[in-house]
Amino acid sequence: MTTQPKILLIYTGGTIGMVKDYTTNALKAFDFSQISEKIPELAQLDCNITALSFDTLIDSSNMNIANYVQLTGMIEENYDAYDGFVVLSGSDTMSYVSSAISFMFENLQKPVVFTGSQLPIGHLRTDAKENLITSIEIAAARKNNAPVITEVCLYFEYKLYRANRTTKINAEQFEAFTSLNYPPLAESGVHLTFNDALLLPSVTAQAPLIVRKQLNSHVVILKLFPGIRPEVVASILAIPALKGVVLETYGAGNALTDAWFVELLETAIDKGIYIVNVTQCAGGSVLMGHYETSLGLKKIGVVNGKDMTTESALAKMMYLLGEQLDKTTFKAIFETSLRGEVS
């Protein structure tokens, strides 16, 4: 006889937790402690569900490093008492938040599944119920008395993705997220089917959970465009206390070869600013040095972001900057897969 898995729901804020007050027609936050009344289907799941909420609910547009630490702290405090975690948040920044959380947890041995919705939970045509029910089912899934998932994931519209591989691509369709450089970890249809070969391997049971909370937010995203002016790039690289730049280049990591551009980047790198090259394309990878237009970046020490998403590269940079690494170690670790973020 096996005991029912214990799942902790954590509501941070966002569309999924809103219901309409029919006396005022305004949306208000839903009390997730009453979740079984709103979604009686949860009683059919073979697990025990407990709900917690942020004391102050956060619209996902207002998410910041302090909220990341708060969320990881809640999971850390309850880690031994629960078998899986489902985080409910706004979808607008979910890829950024879930990517960061994936790097903050080292030696994770339990599922952390992010989900949300495009329509509030009380809406007639809401996608919230299916997303929530299946996310809980995923978090509770076990095989050989061990959790199937042991990483940070994002579930939306019948697909489970590795969180740090995702990008939000649509503000209106229920299929709001995609993961172009890595296939879904699971798909929900008539059956919930896991793609076992794609999952991160479990860490040894003896490895203790480590939570990395020293993120450094002195970073910026610099997206190139034809006609970008020297004073724009110079002003960004001159931001006080700047530590890292995620450089969104063209195609396979290509950038303008004008002397002023390369010189500005080289000066910044010499000052100790880390610059990581990721592609603006929704899918594909940076191939540093493949074309002459990226050879100059490689020569001056720009870090290769490979096929990382911008969201994941930003999160990984915040994490590694907080670890106070030397330049060689930073580059080596950044270009290596830590949580399945790089192919």
37-55 b/e with 16+ CB inside 10 Å = b? Answer: ebeeebeebebebebbbee
* Structural contact between residues 100 and 68, judged by C-beta atoms closer than 8 angstroms: yes
Given strand 84-88, what is the order of strands in its sheet? 48-53, 6-11, 84-88, 112-115, 152-156, 159-162, 186-188, 192-194
From the centroid of its chain, how far is CA 322? 18
The answer to whether 15 is a known catalytic residue is: yes
From the centroid of its chain, how far is CA 173? 20
CA distance 322 to 218: 10
* Structural contact between residues 136 and 87, judged by C-beta atoms closer than 8 angstroms: no
Q: Output phi, psi for 164, to 5 deg.
A: -80, 10
Catalytic: which of 2, 12, 15, 249? 15
CA distance 31 to 107: 32
* Structural contact between residues 198 and 182, judged by C-beta atoms closer than 8 angstroms: yes
Of 122, 78, 70, residue with least CA distance to 101: 70
Output the CA torsion sign for 281, 247, 286, 343.
negative
Q: Indicate which residues carry an active-site annotation.
A: 15
